[in-house]
Amino acid sequence: MLSTPTINELCSDEELRDCVALLRTSFGTVAREFGLTEESAPTNAAFATLENLRRHLQNGMKLYGMAFDSSLIGCVATKRSKKDELVFYIERLAVIPEKRKHGYGGQLLSFALEQILRDGGATASIGLMDNNDRLKKWYISKGFVQHDRRRVEHLAFKVCFMSMDIKKGDLI
């Protein structure tokens, strides 16, 4: 049986510093697996900084952390699209390596979808490395559908764009 961690919005400098460390560790495993560097993937969360995270928060991103007691084990962010107020992006979904495969990523995703609904959204959208088949399959298993795949100018790989229409009662 899964323990129930708490999920709260991260705001304080200490929480944000802890989140930067979590992002660098969690996304770092993927960066190493796929040979990403700060030069080839400068916006990847494996290379997150406190300043970068603060900038995203100032631009409308909401960041949430999952913790047992005071120990951060995961995070997820949501951000409303500037083009369509019903579309929200899910970003920075991460679980520390030693806590993976226990359902925490799914809990964070469900939490993000609930937040999107609360904030008036109807569609969740994500972007991920197109060649990360394992992650792509995971999102498909949660109800996401691939709708685009293309090269993004500042990245050394193609990005897979997926989305999910959400409404109360449909959440995973």
35-60 b/e with 16+ CB inside 10 Å = b? Answer: ebeeeebeebbbbbeeeebeebbeee
Average of per-residue pLDDT values in the chain: 91
Q: Compute the average pLDDT of residues 135-149.
A: 93
Nearest to 164 by CA among 61, 65, 86: 86
The predicted pLDDT at position 1 comes to 47
Residue 120 to residue 129: CA distance in whole angstroms:
28
Q: Bigger pLDDT: 69 or 91? A: 91
**The pair of three-digit structure tokens given for residue 48, joined into one six-digit string:** 């997150």
Please list, in sequence order, all residues whose beta carbon lies within 8 angstroms of the beta carbon of residue 44, skipping any fewer than 6 positions away. 27, 31, 36
Structural class in CATH, domain 6-165: alpha beta
Question: Over 60: is that where the pLDDT of 170 sits?
Answer: no
Please identify which residue in the block is written with the tokens 């959440």. Answer: 171
Contact status, residue 27 vs residue 44, Cβ threshold 8 Å: yes
As a whole number of angstroms, the distance between CA 172 and CA 108 comes to: 11
* pLDDT tens-place string over residues 17-49: 999 999 999 999 999 999 999 988 888 999 999
pLDDT recorded at residue 73: 97
Name the DSSP class of 36.
-
d(CA 170, CA 9): 24
At residue 3 the predicted structure's pLDDT band, cuts being 50, 70 and 90, is low
d(CA 20, CA 63): 11
pLDDT in tens, 118-132: 999 999 999 998 889
- Residue 80: name the closest of 65, 60, 57, 63 by CA: 60
